[in-house]
Amino acid sequence: MKNPNIVILGAGYGGIITAVKLQKSLGVNEANVTLVNKHSYHYQTTWLHENAAGTLHHDHTRIPIKDVINTSKINFVQDTVTEIKPSEKRVMLENGDLMYDYLVIGLGYEAATFGIPGLKEHAFTIGSINSARLIRQHIEYNFAKYNNEADKKQERLNLVVGGAGFTGIEFVGELANRIPQLCREYDIPREKVRIINVEAAPSALPGFDPELVEYAMNSLEGRGVEFKIGAMIKEVTENKLVFEKDEQREEIPTNTVVWAAGVRGNSLVEQAGFESNRGRTPVSDDLRPAGYDDVFIVGDCALLINEETERPYPPTAQIAIQMAEQTAANLTKLVKGDKHLEPFTPDLKGTVASLGHKDAIGVVFNDKKLFGWSASAMKKVIDNRYLLKLGGPGLVLKKGKLNFFQ
């Protein structure tokens, strides 16, 4: 009997942890495991806002896949997925195709633009190492250009972030740290630079504890961040953003709009014919979509309902990692002939949002609230714990955030 082919698509949190766990639980004579990813590296998505602001170099955020994957046990294919054909048990790549007996889809997210005119064409998104690097270089270029023009354009120094959810808030926190350094470097008065956060909801960090939200906004406003809350973005052009608040339309001259207000699952999943809600596919408690016993979906592409709240679990790194661990355990069972799969139950340990240098907010350990340095230290603990899970103590020493006073 031939070994089953297990194909894992994507080396984000869900894909890479599935592969790491399978290389420990299955021998090479039990299954052929292939991991497909378009880059040669995995990256810490939760650090991209730091790369985009320029407060952390992108090389620190990316981890070579071959540093954590044993290529004598896992076949790594660097290629781009172009199509998934579940009826044929086949995955099409730019440079070939792969047949599978079991498929794990962990292809991550795309920006959801909600049809706002000009957003796709003129706004940046923080979605990858490359997009984060582009934002950093674009901001630095505008600062460098400002004093080299006779007609000094304010639009170069107005930095607008769309969305005050986790990504938006964490990014403006890093910008608030970075801007004073850039002002010194490029001889620009700090008061000339505006960091403007535009959010359509009636509050920043919608759904988060109000006391923590108030702390976050006070901290960020104290470092120069302006909030436009209850403001709906209507249009983005090459040199301005238009929003509506209290039935009044306003314009902000800017050529830097970073969109951080919405994500959807990878469109390839929807195109493959799986049921989809904004690119996320409903899965059962064993993380398989209805009608597909040979497919598991993890991370941002999976839609799993929390029965207590009757709302979907958020697409977070924490949940993607836990989904991956459960999927690897269930695949191991299937390969070994045990068809009784364990249900996935998220173990939510809390949430921490960085506000920049030595500052953060969080809820951990059954609703214990953290503010300031203690929350910032907890964020580093969480990040280091993931690196330990992924690659052991060596990876923590190489890539971890070990200085808790920075």
| Catalytic positions | 170
C-alpha to C-alpha distance for 302 and 225, rounded to whole angstroms: 34
How far, in Å, CA of 50 to CA of 260, rounded? 14
Token pair 């009784």 in the structure block, residue: 340
Q: In degrees rounded to 5, what are phi and psi of residue 161?
A: -115, 120
Task: Retrieve residue 65's tokens.
Answer: 């896949």
Nearest to 59 by CA among 70, 50, 68: 50
Q: What is the amino acid identity at position 365?
A: F
Rg of the chain (C-alpha set): 22
Question: Measured at the alpha carbon of residue 120, what is the angle toward residues 115 and 125, in degrees to the nearest 5?
Answer: 115
- The answer to whether the CB of 97 falls within 8 A of the CB of 91 is yes
Q: Which two tokens stand for residue 266?
A: 């990878």
Q: What is the 3-state secondary structure (H, E, C) of 248-287?
A: EEEEEECCEEEECCCEEECHHHHHCCCCCECCEEECCCCC
